[in-house]
């Protein structure tokens, strides 16, 4: 297969025009092309407002040998790599019980999906509701402030990322093709094909909800089981051959499920479960993460800055990613940017308030928003306990709840600098899911953090004109940026308790939807490679 890189096309072009351009570039007839496949599509705005799509195209043609000779410096020869799922290792450790996966976020879903594909009939436990129920619970919360502690923006089928912008890009290096497999799986269950080649793919919340539902249906069709409103509240370990080994979990404080294999894909907000793991002496430690505010600007301002035009035709809504080094040596950066999106009240605990961001597939909201966050580490949490980061998050979230009187606290950047509550808004109007209150957001943070946030936004204003405008709208607190703990695992991905597999973002091995899904796959591979799983009849109807 031949690959052409950096083929430029104007936005709004047809597929036929792309074919024409390819045959011209390769100097062959269109009829001599058997297949054209878009490998990558990115945006080249270096000469804005003259903005292009830059393509990497794979071509299958009968003229390959001739092209390789004539255009050897202009084309690449590539081989397609396909992800291969390992099969059960017949000589591995014996297990006659169904593997248990706790948590149906991307990590748990992909782990359960691969185990089901391998015929291991996993049971997937999720403390929250199905995605249909959850959508209602989240809307109720945003409209009334009534929080459901187990079915909200953090908890429930699909995990934390379901009500999100559904950005799918990841920095995780991957030679086995797991990344492509994740994207292809999302397409198989209903996501748009474009995510396979877009440089910055995303599946808005409105589509992600269906993808999650279809994946659940497939896991069940393959012999797996998915249980909602089923929280793992405890587990039992026994000494097996003088090794501490998992033997059973407890669901909802009553039901006992025997198992040799427990995948912990619990996410970054399962604070009660972190405590349970700590009480059971799972090796874990506090790890650095980042906290800050969400900032909103008119999307047109960002389009103007990134593309040189306010309104767009045939171009995706403009995005940005900014970082800056602060005088105090910390880094400040933008995170989880949501073009044409909304700030969301993403709380999951009573009297504590956290925010995050989301967009719908069209990204056609008035504002652009992102988190502006600063790295914090155990040194900042004031004590050396594996869960001290959780307490640090909780303190900030309690303050945010108080400052906003239970609503999302909002402040203009000008007032943030002046450390005074906002009374009137400027041109930028908040686009927030959940009620908000004009407040003094700065008062939520210890001074080292508010100073860093201010300095960061001012510095980012040098990179994007208007980023530090006085009426930019800030809301807080962005505290769930990644997990505050790391749960130790060894080279075969097991914890210090045999049979327990820490997995995904909550365990500290992923950050984001795609990398969490890839880590779920890694854990499924480790299980399949090390265990001879034969489900015995009595365990099929657990």
Ligand X SMILES: Cc1cc2nc3c(=O)[nH]c(=O)nc-3n(C[C@H](O)[C@H](O)[C@H](O)COP(=O)(O)OP(=O)(O)OC[C@H]3O[C@@H](n4cnc5c(N)ncnc54)[C@H](O)[C@@H]3O)c2cc1C
> What is the rounded CA–CA span in Å between residue 64 and residue 422?
65
Q: Which stretch binds ligand X (CB under 6 A): 67-75, 78-86, 97-105, 528-536?
A: 97-105
Name the 3-class secondary structure at 358. Answer: strand
* Nearest Cα residue to 340 out of 312, 361, 366, 372: 366
Separation in Å, CA 98 to CA 120, 123, 250, 453, 519: 7, 7, 15, 48, 20
Name the 3-class secondary structure at 161. Answer: helix
Minimum distance, C-beta of residue 166 to ligand X, in the bound complex (Å):
5
- Taking CB under 6 A as the criterion, the residue among 23, 61, 95, 164 binding ligand X is 164
- Taking CB under 6 A as the criterion, the residue among 358, 387, 477, 535 binding ligand X is 358
> Considering the rule CB under 6 A, would residue 505 count as an interface residue with ligand X?
yes
Provide the CB-side half-sphere exposure for 233 (13 A, CA). 11
Q: Which is nearer to ligand X, 69 or 173 (CB)?
A: 173
- Taking CB under 6 A as the criterion, the residue among 75, 114, 138, 153 binding ligand X is 153
Q: Which is nearer to ligand X, 106 or 122 (CB)?
A: 106
- Taking CB under 6 A as the criterion, the residue among 55, 141, 155, 467 binding ligand X is 155
> Considering the rule CB under 6 A, would residue 266 count as an interface residue with ligand X?
yes
Name the 3-class secondary structure at 220. Answer: helix
- Taking CB under 6 A as the criterion, the residue among 95, 104, 179, 495 binding ligand X is 104
One character per residue 116-145, x = contact with ligand X (rule: CB under 6 A): ---------xxxx-----------------
First to last CA, the chain: 49
Q: Which stretch binds ligand X (CB under 6 A): 44-52, 158-166, 236-244, 283-291?
A: 158-166
* Nearest Cα residue to 3 out of 78, 80, 82: 78
- Residues in 509-538 at the binding interface with ligand X, rule: CB under 6 A: 510-514, 516
Question: Which DSSP symbol is given to 152?
Answer: S
Helix runs in 368-441, H state only: 378-381, 388-403, 413-418
Provide the CB-side half-sphere exposure for 369 (13 A, CA). 31
> What is the rounded CA–CA span in Å between residue 245 and residue 258?
12
Q: Which stretch binds ligand X (CB under 6 A): 13-21, 153-161, 183-191, 439-447?
A: 153-161
- Residues in 330-349 at the binding interface with ligand X, rule: CB under 6 A: 336, 344, 346
Q: Which is nearer to ligand X, 122 or 128 (CB)?
A: 128
> Which residues face 93 on adjacent strands?
531
Q: Which is nearer to ligand X, 2 or 473 (CB)?
A: 473
> What is the rounded CA–CA span in Å between residue 54 and residue 88?
42
> Considering the rule CB under 6 A, would residue 270 count as an interface residue with ligand X?
yes
Q: Which is nearer to ligand X, 267 or 389 (CB)?
A: 267
- Taking CB under 6 A as the criterion, the residue among 506, 527, 528, 535 binding ligand X is 506
Q: Which is nearer to ligand X, 233 or 395 (CB)?
A: 233
HEC string of 128-142 equals CCCHHHHHHHHHHHH
> Considering the rule CB under 6 A, would residue 156 count as an interface residue with ligand X?
yes
Task: Work out the angle at residue 354's Cα, subtended by the Cα atoms of residues 351 and 360, and round it to the nearest 5 degrees.
Answer: 130
> Considering the rule CB under 6 A, would residue 293 count as an interface residue with ligand X?
no
> Considering the rule CB under 6 A, would residue 249 count as an interface residue with ligand X?
no
- Taking CB under 6 A as the criterion, the residue among 28, 160, 372, 487 binding ligand X is 160
Q: Which is nearer to ligand X, 363 or 407 (CB)?
A: 363
Residues sharing a CB contact under 8 Å with residue 403, sequence separation 6 or more, in sequence order: 409, 439, 440, 441, 443, 444, 476
> What is the rounded CA–CA span in Å between residue 478 and residue 397?
9
Count, residues near ligand X per rule CB under 6 A: 46
**What backbone phi and psi angles, to 5 degrees, belong to 151?**
-140, 95
Minimum distance, C-beta of residue 367 to ligand X, in the bound complex (Å):
16
User: Per-residue DSSP letters for 249-306?
Assistant: EEETTTEEEE-S-EEE---TT-HHHHHHHHHTT--EEE--EEEEEEEEEEHHHHHHHH
Query: Does the N-terminal peptide bond of residue 49 adopt cis geometry, omega within 30 degrees of 0?
Result: yes
- Taking CB under 6 A as the criterion, the residue among 97, 98, 167, 352 binding ligand X is 167
Give the containing element (helix H, strand E) for 18.
Answer: helix 15-26
- Residues in 472-491 at the binding interface with ligand X, rule: CB under 6 A: 480
Q: Which two tokens stand for residue 301?
A: 């301002």
Q: Helix crossing, 178-188 with 106-117: angle to 10°?
A: 90
Q: Which two tokens stand for residue 90?
A: 């017949």
> Considering the rule CB under 6 A, would residue 410 count as an interface residue with ligand X?
no
One character per residue 411-450, x = contact with ligand X (rule: CB under 6 A): ----------------------------------------
- Taking CB under 6 A as the criterion, the residue among 26, 107, 138, 211 binding ligand X is 107
Q: Which is nearer to ligand X, 3 or 229 (CB)?
A: 229
Minimum distance, C-beta of residue 519 to ligand X, in the bound complex (Å):
7
Minimum distance, C-beta of residue 352 to ligand X, in the bound complex (Å):
14
Instruction: Centre a 10 Å sphere on the Cβ of residue 46 and count the other Cβ atoms it contains.
Output: 8
Q: Are strands 432-433 and 531-533 parallel, antiparallel or unpaired?
A: unpaired
Q: Which is nearer to ligand X, 134 or 498 (CB)?
A: 134
Contact 108, 270 (CB under 8 A): no
- Taking CB under 6 A as the criterion, the residue among 273, 369, 431, 439 binding ligand X is 273
- Residues in 46-85 at the binding interface with ligand X, rule: CB under 6 A: none
Q: Which is nearer to ligand X, 268 or 330 (CB)?
A: 268
Q: Which is nearer to ligand X, 57 or 386 (CB)?
A: 386
Binding site for ligand X (CB under 6 A): 102-108, 125-128, 153-156, 159-161, 163-167, 231-232, 265-268, 270, 273, 336, 344, 346, 356, 358, 480, 504-506, 510-514, 516
């Amino acid at each position: 297969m031949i690959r052409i890189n950096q083929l430029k096309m104007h936005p709004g072009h047809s597929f036929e025009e792309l074919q024409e351009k390819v045959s011209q570039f390769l100097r062959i007839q269109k009829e001599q092309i058997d297949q054209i496949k878009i490998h990558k599509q990115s945006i080249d705005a270096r000469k804005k407002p003259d903005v292009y799509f830059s393509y990497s195209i794979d071509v299958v043609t009968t003229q390959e040998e001739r092209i390789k000779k004539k255009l050897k410096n202009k084309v690449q020869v590539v081989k397609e790599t396909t992800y291969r799922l390992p099969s059960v290792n017949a000589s591995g450790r014996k297990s006659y019980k169904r593997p248990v996966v706790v948590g149906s976020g991307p990590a748990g879903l992909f782990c359960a999906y691969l185990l089901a594909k391998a015929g291991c009939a996993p049971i997937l436990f999720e403390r929250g509701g199905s995605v249909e129920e959850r959508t209602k619970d989240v809307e109720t919360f945003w409209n009334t402030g009534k929080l459901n502690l187990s079915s909200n923006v953090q908890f429930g089928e699909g995990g934390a990322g379901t009500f999100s912008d559904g950005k799918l890009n990841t920095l995780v290096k991957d030679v086995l093709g797991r990344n492509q497999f994740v994207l292809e799986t999302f397409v198989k269950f209903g996501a748009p094909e474009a995510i396979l080649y877009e440089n910055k793919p995303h599946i808005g919340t409105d589509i992600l909800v269906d993808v999650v539902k279809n994946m659940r249906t497939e896991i069940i069709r393959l012999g797996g089981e998915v249980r909602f409103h089923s929280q793992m509240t405890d587990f039992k370990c026994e000494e097996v051959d003088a090794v501490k080994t998992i033997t059973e979990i407890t669901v909802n404080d009553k039901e006992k499920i025997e198992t040799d294999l427990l995948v912990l894909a619990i996410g970054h907000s399962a604070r009660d479960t972190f405590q349970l793991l700590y009480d059971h002496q799972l090796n874990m430690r506090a790890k650095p993460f980042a906290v800050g505010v969400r900032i909103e600007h008119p999307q047109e301002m960002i389009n103007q800055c990134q593309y040189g035009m306010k309104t767009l035709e045939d171009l995706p809504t403009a995005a940005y990613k900014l970082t800056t080094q602060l005088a105090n040596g910390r880094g400040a950066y933008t995170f989880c940017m949501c073009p044409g999106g909304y700030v969301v009240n993403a709380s999951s605990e009573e009297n504590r308030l956290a925010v995050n961001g989301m967009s719908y597939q069209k990204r056609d909201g008035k504002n652009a928003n992102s988190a502006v966050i600063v790295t914090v580490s155990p040194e900042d949490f004031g004590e050396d306990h594996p869960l001290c980061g959780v307490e640090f998050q909780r303190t900030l979230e309690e303050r945010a709840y108080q400052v906003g009187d239970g609503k999302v606290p909002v402040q203009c950047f000008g007032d943030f600098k002046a450390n005074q509550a906002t009374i009137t808004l400027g041109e930028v109007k908040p686009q927030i899911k959940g009620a908000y209150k004009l407040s003094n957001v700065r008062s939520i943070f210890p001074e080292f953090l508010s100073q860093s946030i201010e300095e960061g936004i001012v510095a980012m204003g040098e990179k994007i004109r208007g980023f530090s405008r006085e009426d930019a709208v800030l809301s807080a607190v962005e505290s769930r940026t990644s997990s505050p703990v790391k749960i130790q695992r060894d080279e075969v991905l097991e914890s210090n308790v045999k049979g327990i597999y820490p997995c995904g973002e909550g365990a500290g091995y992923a950050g984001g939807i795609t990398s969490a899904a890839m880590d779920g796959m890694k854990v499924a591979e480790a299980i399949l490679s090390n265990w001879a799983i034969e489900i015995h009849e009595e365990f099929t109807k657990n």
